Chains A and B, each alone.
Chain A
Amino acid sequence: MKNINDIGFLGTEFLLWLYWQSCEEGTISLEDQGLGEVHISIEESITLVSITGDGYSETVKSQEITELKTVRESIKAGRLPDSAKIKLISNELDYQFQIKANPLKISAVKLPLTGEKEEVQVISSRIEAVSKLELIMKAVFDVFLIEREKKSFANDLKKFLDM
């Protein structure tokens, strides 16, 4: 396998794809992996970094990132997502976390509240939630890999960005 640093572009592409999904329905089917459907949206903040060599970077903070034309214009200009805050809903459970493109990893995960009161149950449920989120994100990444292999991927992305 390539070194973690050699596939950094995949992290950026993955975040760009998540932004794209987020701007559309945001629903991703993970039925094949037995994980049902998840809903993903970019919320609160996104950091865009230029890949064209001009050194530009900006962090946009807004409750409606996907509605902002400026974000899309920035992406068209070659400033691609480097990190973002994500909200993910799976089986009515609500996760929020930070995702970084290079190296690709998630952090600062706010786990869903499941209503348990006993300490032992809270621990079990939170560990289960961490474990589930890792499974979900791996599955979402697999869906992205399949999508990006399609011949139309680059053209569809250009169409979405109106380029």
Chain B
Amino acid sequence: MTKLLKGSVSTTLFKSNKVPKTIGDARECLERFAFKKLDPADVRDESSGWVDAVLCFDSENFSSLMHDRFFVFAMRTDKYSFSASQLRPYLEEAEFVFKKENNLEYIAAQQKKEIKEQVIRKLKSNSYPRTTVVEVAWDMESRNVHFFTQSGAMVANFTDMFEKTFETTLENAYIFDSLKKMGADKVEPVFGKIWSIK
């Protein structure tokens, strides 16, 4: 269930340098970078794109986009990944069968690579990718963008995709942003006046 409805949340805050003029413009931008499902035969192992925040299978209508002054949508990432230990039994079996069928003692490196790719393709067709959905709430008045995770990898992926989608730039916003006005370079710790720091 979307974090927008239930549960505790962790967010990363940004400020965008501009906002879409209309909801239609925002929808068009989102559609251009909408989420596309991964096909097991696809050479890609990962796919990221925008989906509706409530119906995360919907990457066409974005029917829940407008909430008061916020544009609300989500970033969906589907990823196939198999650890070495997951691959090992299937890989060893495929290599064993290949050697037996071709009456070989060793398998050439290039051939090994092809066998591994076949094994991965087979595993992909028999499993679902790992899916992550992270909600986004974009305040049209303050230009603040709330991204509902603090995961470094997700934040990096999001920033890149958001900037491309809306042709804007995102700047991180922090609790201590007012320091900029005060002149942060002048701020010194008070600990030294109280504790002797080694």
Contacts and interface: CB of A to CB of B under 8 A. Distances in A.
Asked whether A and B interact, the reply is yes
Interface of A: 1-2, 4, 7, 9-13, 51-53, 78, 80, 97, 104-111, 119-120, 122-124, 126-128, 130-131, 134, 137-138, 141-142, 145, 148, 153-154, 157-158, 161, 163
B9 interface: yes
B8 A108 contact: yes
Contact of A2 (B10, B64, B184, B198): B184
A109 B9 contact: yes
A158 B185 CA distance: 25
Given A106-B10, A138-B177, 12 more contacts: A1-B184, A2-B179, A2-B185, A7-B179, A53-B198, A78-B197, A108-B8, A122-B5, A127-B146, A131-B142, A138-B178, A141-B178
A10 B186 CA distance: 12
Nearest to B68: A124
Interface string B158-198: 00000000000000001111111010110101110111111
Contacts of B70: 124, 127
A145 B178 contact: yes
Interface hub of B70, B176, B182 (most chain A Cβ within 10 A): B176
Contacts of A107: 10, 150
A131 B9 contact: no
How would you classify the secondary structure of chain A's contact residues: helix, strand, loop or mixed? Answer: helix
B75 interface: no
A11 B178 CA distance: 14
B47 interface: no
A124 B182 CA distance: 34
B194 to A, nearest CB: 6
B48 interface: no
B16 to A, nearest CB: 14
B150 A127 contact: no
B51 interface: no
B34 interface: no
A131 B4 CA distance: 13
